């Protein structure tokens, strides 16, 4: 499970890639059961297999590329930002380098309708925090390792 904590250590953003649900030749047709969670002292919100939350290989490759570029640019003290949302719009992640402080700003939004399985609709629940380079490195390494384990056939 890839885990990104804020500088104070009281906020966490986690992504877990569980198993391949359906594998096809095309990357956008290969679906992976996944879990995503944000938690702090005030909020805990997660979506997973119980919400039919899946990401496809194309989306995972795209997210991995953005995470690797973010880390690389932070190490070079270059500006970089990205926004990522999956096809199903279950969640949105925004990350950007803050070069002066050698940190990243992270925003994670979860579609509340997905969290409640359609009982409540019309808004997202999210959190914004700052993470340092070491935490980002651990997160990226863990995410890439999970990807490699899933697709290393």
SS (H, E, C) 73-121: HHHCCCCCEEEEECCCCCEEEEEEEEHHHCEEEEEEEEEHHHHCCCCCC
CB 93 within 8 A of CB 84: yes
Segment 13-69, tens digit of pLDDT: 999 999 888 777 776 688 999 999 999 999 999 988 888 889 999 999 999 999 999
Give all domains of the chain, ordered by start, each with its CATH number. Answer: 2-150 (2.30.31)
How many angstroms separate the Cα of 86 from the Cα of each of 60, 91, 101, 119, 153?
9, 7, 30, 21, 25
Give residue 153's pLDDT: 61
Segment 70-93, tens digit of pLDDT: 999 999 999 999 999 998 889 999
Token output for 151: 């697709």
Q: Is the pLDDT of residue 117 over 80?
A: no
Band (pLDDT 50/70/90 cuts) for residue 109 is: very high
């Amino acid at each position: 499970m890839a885990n990104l904590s804020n500088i104070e250590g009281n906020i966490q953003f986690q992504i877990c890639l569980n198993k391949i649900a359906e594998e096809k030749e095309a990357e956008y047709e290969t679906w992976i059961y996944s879990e995503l969670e944000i938690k702090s002292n005030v909020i805990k919100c997660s979506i997973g297999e119980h919400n039919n939350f899946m990401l496809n290989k194309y989306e995972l490759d795209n997210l991995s590329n953005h995470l690797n570029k973010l880390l690389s640019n932070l190490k070079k003290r270059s500006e970089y930002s990205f926004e990522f949302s999956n096809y199903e719009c279950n969640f949105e992640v925004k990350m950007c380098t803050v070069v002066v402080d050698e940190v990243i700003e992270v925003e994670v939004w979860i579609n509340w309708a997905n969290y409640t399985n359609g009982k409540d609709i019309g808004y997202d629940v999210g959190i914004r925090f700052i993470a340092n380079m070491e935490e980002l490195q651990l997160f990226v390494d863990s995410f890439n390792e999970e990807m490699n384990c899933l697709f290393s056939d």
